[in-house]
Structure 1
Amino acid sequence: MMPVEVTRGDSPIVLGLPHTGTYVPKEIKARLNERGLELSDTDWHIHDLYDGLLEGATSVRATFHRYVIDANRNPARESLYPGQNTTGLIPETNFDGAPIWRDGQVPDEADIDARLETYFRPYHRALEAELTRVRDMHGVAILYDCHSIRGDIPFLFEGRLPDLNVGTNMGTTCDARVEETVYGLCRAAEGYTSVLNGRFKGGWTTRHYGRPSEGWHAIQMEIAQAAYMDEEPPWTWRAERAEPLRRLLKTILTDLADLAPNLRGDA
């Protein structure tokens, strides 16, 4: 299986999808324990949630699971959230802090290097190529990085996560108008809770590609999964919850696309 799927469009919006893939090659699957084989930390149904919301949007989707290697972590292995619990470039535990590998099967440096070359780098080469293409076309590119997570994970955060978690690394990864467009709509959305730069401030993707001075604006949306699905196995999609959320997300993406021409002079 190819490590990345690209759908090209002519909009200024690029959707990043680093965590929806469930592919695990058999040689890696054999090293996971029963807990790891559940793939519980998948961003379930996120590609379906955003499918067709913005005509002409480009999408770059990793097909491999984050247990193979996490496409949204720093390849230099530096923590995105120093001092807080998190998972690494190749996770050793799931989001509950429980081991996911069989005894003696935790990936070593050679494994990490091989997976960087086979999976991580192809995804990011594709993402960078699409951002460059879109910026060349429009004078600006807006990377909207799509994520979801269970709303209750004591190992990672206290209490219940808001429904909509917008991250711009404290406003550094995009023009302020991008941040206000997205968070303003979230804040005003009836029936949803939201936060800006809370527990999730934007992962490595958002921080790495968020270069407003170069015409690349990046923002992360982390959605609590109960807003559109069941958070427990078998992680069922719930259309009655997903459809109003899709309408909100469609408005967000449409307004971002409309905003893009106003950002051209800032690069």
Structure 2
Amino acid sequence: MLKELIRKNPDTPILITVPHAGDIYPDLFIKHLKVNLCEVRRIEDYQSNKILGKIDEQMADIIIAQCSRAVVDLNRSRNAIDYTMFSQVFEHEPVSEKQMIKYGLGVFPNKIFGKTILKTPLPVSYATHMLENYYDPFHKSLHKQIMYLYNIFGFCYHIDLHTMPSKALLNFKKEPDIVLGDNFGKSCSIGLSNYFQNVFKENGFTVELNNPYAGGFITRNYGNPSKGVHTIQIEINRKIYMDENKLSLKNIKILQEIFAKIFNNLKLSEKIAAE
């Protein structure tokens, strides 16, 4: 349930992941759904993979998850499990990301905009199926490709692409267009973070760093600049490229052109990565 655009002979150490654009809802999920699917779809990073549509396929490897984040959230730890949703405890690792679970947003989301979406308790077989078929393949592919690029170049630039609802930004005097998350400087070099801040600002976007999103599990888990892996999360204000109420695209060509310009001309050296 992945779309993988992997180069045979990469010229750049660039990997882009899109974990939340998926719009596939397995029958097993629908079977346990207690609300209308239209309500659930509002959690999608709606067709955000299309933002990458004009990037030269030789400039980056791209991994796109096709199963919805409402089914399994790939940007959570595998152990971010709310056992009150299930008929029994089935993993022996300690539960992680307890605050997100409290909001109903663990690896198996159970609340969207405050509304419970699943009939519970769920059988253990539900969790096993979802993890083995949707969670594990994504993270295995991501880890494999990071290591592949690292082994070739000695470092890897990993960009994790997301979109954010505009209503999540109401507290800002000037609503940001882009929020970059580098886990407060822990997931990538200052050079890479500064590069993206500057290039978006040069293209007329307002940019925030780590506010309100500093990066999720993917950023925290994979970003390790001391070992040559530089992960940065990019959040894009949805109203730039879509109608949030109608779930339809608009003006996406503007973002496509800017992302193509960024990645088709991305000439970052090992020196910048090490800053």
- The bucket for the TM-score relative to the shorter chain is 0.7 to 0.9
Name 1:237's counterpart in structure 2.
Answer: 249
The CA deviation string for residues 116-174 of structure 1, in whole angstroms up to 9 with x for no partner, is 22211111000111111112222211110011121114xxx653652101000101100
1:89 and 2:107 matched: yes
CA positional deviation for 1:81:
6.3
CA positional deviation for 1:46:
1.0
Name 1:219's counterpart in structure 2.
Answer: 232
Q: Which amino acid aligns with 2:97?
A: S
- Residue identity over aligned pairs, in percent, reads 24
Q: Spell out structure 1 runs of 4+ moving beyond 6 A.
A: 80-84
Name 2:258's counterpart in structure 1.
Answer: 248
Name 1:20's counterpart in structure 2.
Answer: 21
Distance 1:54 1:33 in 2: 42
Distance 1:185 1:81 in 2: 34
Tell me: CA distance 1:86–1:148, structure 2 relative to 1, closer, same or farther (3 Å).
farther
Tell me: CA distance 1:263–1:131, structure 2 relative to 1, closer, same or farther (3 Å).
farther
TM-score (norm 1): 0.85
1:50 and 2:52 matched: yes
Which of 124, 143, 146 is residue 158 of structure 2 equivalent to? 143
Tell me: CA distance 1:106–1:253, structure 2 relative to 1, closer, same or farther (3 Å).
farther
CA positional deviation for 1:182:
0.5
Does the CA contact (< 8 Å) of 2:5 and 2:63 recur in 1? yes
Distance 2:209 2:200 in 1: 9
Distance 2:104 2:170 in 1: 13
The CA deviation string for residues 168-225 of structure 1, in whole angstroms up to 9 with x for no partner, is 01011001100000012223332x3220010110111111110112211100001111
Tell me: CA distance 1:228–1:220, structure 2 relative to 1, closer, same or farther (3 Å).
same
1:76 and 2:79 matched: yes
Q: How many residues align?
A: 253
Tell me: CA distance 1:218–1:20, structure 2 relative to 1, closer, same or farther (3 Å).
same
Which of 208, 212, 217 is residue 199 of structure 1 equivalent to? 212
Does the CA contact (< 8 Å) of 1:143 and 1:216 recur in 2? yes
Name 1:7's counterpart in structure 2.
Answer: 5
Q: Secondary structure at the match of 1:49?
A: helix
CA positional deviation for 1:115:
1.8
Name 2:267's counterpart in structure 1.
Answer: 258
Distance 2:230 2:136 in 1: 21
1:64 and 2:67 matched: yes
1:98 and 2:115 matched: yes
Name 2:201's counterpart in structure 1.
Answer: 187
Alignment gaps of 5+ in structure 2: 81-95
Distance 1:88 1:55 in 2: 33
TM-score (norm 2): 0.83
Q: Secondary structure at the match of 1:217?
A: strand
